Structure 1
Amino acid sequence: MNPSRTAFTRRGFLGLAAAAAAAPTLSACGGSSSSSRNSIEFWDMPWATPAYNTAAKKITQSYVPASGDLRTNYQIIQWNNFYQTFSSAIASKTGPAVSTGAGFQAFQFEQQGAIAHADNVIDALKKNGQYDDFLPGVLEPFKSDNGYVAVPWQMDMRVFWYRKSLLDKADAAVPTDWPSLLQAGKALKKAGAIGFCTGSGAGNNIGNHFLIAMMLNNGGGVWTPDGHVDLLNDRNVEAVEFVRELVSNGVIDPGAVSYTTNNMDAQWKDKQAGFGLYVLGLPQRVGDTSGDIIAASPLTGPHGDKAALVFLNNIMMYKNTPSQSSSEAFLVYYLGRIKQLWQQNLMNSLPVFKSITALPEFTKDANNVRILKEYQPIAKTSAARGTALSANLAVLDGGQAINQFTQTVLGGKTDAKSALRTFQSGLQSVITS
């Protein structure tokens, strides 16, 4: 991953709700229809360094379609204003036939009637044996009442990390549960380090993810099992009160409300941060592969719960294609070749296929192995306590309600119930159902 870039690897956010209001509706007309093209357009995002896109383009250009199917063109779409780019292109019928993109993007465009369901792709994967290669739990969230909205290809896990030398200096054990997290945080602070590294400054969603992760780790979550907002449940209140305890004890730095990901990177790189929640591949991200930054095991909540927050990045297809069968054939081909991206050490995310996790290029990183073994089986999406993904998750992840909530909690400004009540009101005012 490019360390200078904010963690784009799941991208269900970055102002999607605001962008949706400003972007054209999909009923707009104008532009040339993709049905007039004689090739499939595959739009991909800069998921890592430029070498990633070079490799993905090579995979695409190596595709030799069967007789009657179309070839595929590869195009890079930048994250900056990406939602407007997709929405405008789809509205004018000049958009892609297949794309990667934001984690919940497919569900937003499905609501607007633009997504081609992937059931035929899933059937093809069953026939070629790749369906059984999916890790447990990664495919089910994409099944809607109308079919598979998209197909997952990588996982972006939120992971607890620690710097061993700082814990040793503070004479503190690696936290395993909430009490030991508080104890270690106090010891780290006393030793002059940051006890829990997080942030909610401009463009930084890690603080948001930390709060959601703690709710999940306590058996709570934003939603009921059937998808209704339920932020004021007792487990959420307990989780937020615990975070407020970290704040009141100075374990979370008072400046965290303004820390960007660049600030957090510097804190880890400069050996200031002792423990915290961050993205996969933290040592590589900050350029410290000495072995001092280590993935901790998931914490155990006060009621014995264990959970981790994961974002499932996916590949989606669109109805406006010159050939739906060609879109499907290319997607099956591409999914069968993405192991090359991990073989070339280009991906800073967990694969969704068991066979890729067995590659020597993946298993040589002890942190990856631990995260896969300990985090993936207990991972939950931000849809929890439900499991099905939806467009509402983009509104949650990209909206102002969660940003304001995180600022309030990390700033120690009010009690848990008041903060959650305001969060619930703000979220309910903008969700679609």
Structure 2
Amino acid sequence: MGPGSSPLGRPVSRRSLLLGSLASAGAATFGFSACSPQVPGTSGAAPAGGTMTFWDMVWGSGAAYTASAKQAVSAYAPSGDSLGVTYQSVPWSNWYQTFTSAAASRTTPAVSSGAAFLPFSFIEQGVVAPADDLVKLLDTNKTNDFLPGILDQMKTSQGYAAVPWSLDLRVLWTRTSLLEKAGADVPTDWDSFIATGTKLAKIGVTGLALAAGSTTTDAQHTVSALMINNGGGMFAPDGTPDCVTDRNIETMDFLRECVAKGIIDPNAASYTSDNLTGDWVKGRVGMGWAQTGLDKTLPEADQSDVEVASPIAGPHGDKGTVYYINPLMMFTTTPSQASSEAFLAWYLDQIHTFWTEGVTTDLPVKQSIAQLPVIQQNKNLVRSIDEWQPIGKTIGAQAPAAFASLNAVDGGAASAGFVQQIVAGKTDSRALLETLQAGLEKVTK
């Protein structure tokens, strides 16, 4: 989840908050700290009345999403010996401390949503229960209809770390009127992207929108998307940092060319997510990688002027992008594992309402939701699902699935400094990657 909008107002930016949360936690390995703040009034123990707790982050449209999710959970009627569920909204601010503190004191809830790589850290610590039996239950219920490759990304040596419920995907958006004004075409590869970006720069329009300030992770996501687009990435298949590769050097060369030709705004080094949204709204941006809900951040009259392009090819013909799978976890502190599984199996059958009500801007991960009219009537969502989702990967792109140390890297200081150096344009490509390599090795030890 990240910046987006709905008719009910501009939401909280989850990805913007990740950087501050992880930085305050030291952006180090996922250790437990019993002195970190907690969400009051929540516990993994079953309260009186035979219920268990569901922690849910503030996704999508913020308050509108939370109201919809709370209403959905209130309708849960457990069968047999299954326990009922109490809904608890959890803010993204200090999320890292909230979860690590709860894990240290064994006051985690029964089930929870959370940051993309959190369950991979927790399953290694024995804090979350494998979701294998839940997946079997979905198979039995014939509701295991996740989009291709999504569930596989949750697999670890200990079992499924979680199940997915939505997808934060980065796609290339273009602004039709500005490309027409510049006499430029929608790019199909990196060379034509440079050509289009150069034409946009000549009319004073940003060709590659970035926000690389200290309070947002936007630029980090775009750079990760481009590395993956060129068959590269920050990690080797075994999960160790592997930044200084020929493919990654090519990606840095491409970005440095964008800087040199004025395709990237030099002010991007200090941009917040609000600055970037403002540039899109004011018509100062012609192209950029962003979330699938970008159009909803624009005035209604301008929403049809932005369009998701088809994936572009890298120098060797590769196509790819970065995504973040939003998980649902089951904690070992649950008063009843069977009840946790029964609830989440039911909950996954209710979440379609988040899209029909327009309270989320992420993509669905279930085929049944992707086929809903509200999705199929939106050409940008259809292209995102059909063309971009199948080529998406996590920031651990070369590995067969996500892994624990990604939680310490996601939004961490090493990546933040790296993208700011890119925008500055004063460091050669290999040196940029060597600095990133050293930073990642430090936080993933």
So what's the TM-score if we normalise by structure 1?
0.94
Q: Does 1:245 align with 2:229?
A: no
- Within the candidate set 296, 300, 310, 1:284 is matched to 296
**C-alpha contact (below 8 Å) 1:43/1:96 kept by paired residues:** yes
**When the two structures are aligned, how many residues end up with a matched partner?**
431
| TM alignment of 1:104-119, pairs within 5 A | 104-119=117-132
Q: Does 1:47 align with 2:59?
A: yes
Matched residue type, 1:237: I
Distance (whole Å) between structure 1 residues aligned to residue 42 and residue 365 of structure 2: 36
Shift of 1:10: 10
Matched residue type, 1:267: D
Distance (whole Å) between structure 1 residues aligned to residue 213 and residue 190 of structure 2: 25
Q: Does 1:142 align with 2:154?
A: yes
Residues 210-256 of structure 1: CA distance to partner in whole angstroms, max 9, x if unpaired? 11111111111111122121101100001111100000111101111
Shift of 1:34: 3.0
Distance (whole Å) between structure 2 residues aligned to residue 43 and residue 9 of structure 1: 18
Shift of 1:286: 2.6
Distance (whole Å) between structure 2 residues aligned to residue 403 and residue 190 of structure 1: 29
**C-alpha contact (below 8 Å) 1:8/1:47 kept by paired residues:** yes
Residues 113-144 of structure 1: CA distance to partner in whole angstroms, max 9, x if unpaired? 2111111100000101112x111000011111
Q: Does 1:130 align with 2:140?
A: no
SS state at 1:161 partner: strand
Matched residue type, 2:279: Q
- Within the candidate set 267, 275, 278, 2:287 is matched to 275
**C-alpha contact (below 8 Å) 1:223/1:230 kept by paired residues:** yes
Distance (whole Å) between structure 1 residues aligned to residue 222 and residue 97 of structure 2: 28
Matched residue type, 1:421: E
**C-alpha contact (below 8 Å) 2:34/2:101 kept by paired residues:** no
| TM alignment of 1:331-350, pairs within 5 A | 331-350=344-363
SS state at 2:304 partner: coil
- With over 3 angstroms needed to count, the CA separation of the structure-2 counterparts of 1:11 and 1:80, relative to structure 1, is closer
- Within the candidate set 330, 334, 355, 2:368 is matched to 355
Distance (whole Å) between structure 1 residues aligned to residue 108 and residue 162 of structure 2: 17
Which runs of no fewer than 5 residues in structure 1 stay unpaired? Answer: none
**C-alpha contact (below 8 Å) 1:160/1:296 kept by paired residues:** yes
**C-alpha contact (below 8 Å) 1:9/1:349 kept by paired residues:** no
**C-alpha contact (below 8 Å) 2:43/2:53 kept by paired residues:** no
Shift of 1:424: 0.1
**C-alpha contact (below 8 Å) 1:12/1:393 kept by paired residues:** no
- With over 3 angstroms needed to count, the CA separation of the structure-2 counterparts of 1:85 and 1:427, relative to structure 1, is same
**C-alpha contact (below 8 Å) 1:17/1:395 kept by paired residues:** no
SS state at 2:443 partner: coil
- With over 3 angstroms needed to count, the CA separation of the structure-2 counterparts of 1:129 and 1:23, relative to structure 1, is closer
SS state at 2:45 partner: helix
Distance (whole Å) between structure 2 residues aligned to residue 32 and residue 177 of structure 1: 50
SS state at 1:123 partner: helix
**C-alpha contact (below 8 Å) 1:4/1:262 kept by paired residues:** no
The residue that corresponds to 2:170 in the other structure is 158
The residue that corresponds to 2:32 in the other structure is 25
SS state at 1:420 partner: helix
SS state at 1:331 partner: helix
Distance (whole Å) between structure 2 residues aligned to residue 32 and residue 58 of structure 1: 19
Matched residue type, 2:25: A
Shift of 1:110: 2.0
| TM alignment of 1:84-123, pairs within 5 A | 84-123=97-136
Shift of 1:66: 1.2
SS state at 1:429 partner: helix
Distance (whole Å) between structure 1 residues aligned to residue 111 and residue 264 of structure 2: 42
SS state at 1:43 partner: strand
The residue that corresponds to 2:225 in the other structure is 213
Residues 174-204 of structure 1: CA distance to partner in whole angstroms, max 9, x if unpaired? 1111111111111001012112111101322
**C-alpha contact (below 8 Å) 1:9/1:156 kept by paired residues:** no
The residue that corresponds to 1:35 in the other structure is 45
SS state at 2:55 partner: strand
The residue that corresponds to 2:213 in the other structure is 201
Distance (whole Å) between structure 1 residues aligned to residue 293 and residue 104 of structure 2: 37
Distance (whole Å) between structure 1 residues aligned to residue 237 and residue 357 of structure 2: 40
**C-alpha contact (below 8 Å) 1:90/1:96 kept by paired residues:** no
**C-alpha contact (below 8 Å) 1:11/1:101 kept by paired residues:** no
SS state at 1:294 partner: strand
Matched residue type, 1:189: A
The residue that corresponds to 2:88 in the other structure is 75
Matched residue type, 2:200: L
Q: Does 1:188 align with 2:200?
A: yes
SS state at 2:410 partner: helix
Distance (whole Å) between structure 2 residues aligned to residue 339 and residue 239 of structure 1: 38
The residue that corresponds to 2:14 in the other structure is 8
Calculate percent identity across the aligned residue pairs: 42
- With over 3 angstroms needed to count, the CA separation of the structure-2 counterparts of 1:103 and 1:33, relative to structure 1, is closer
Matched residue type, 1:210: T
Matched residue type, 2:149: G
Q: Does 1:256 align with 2:262?
A: no
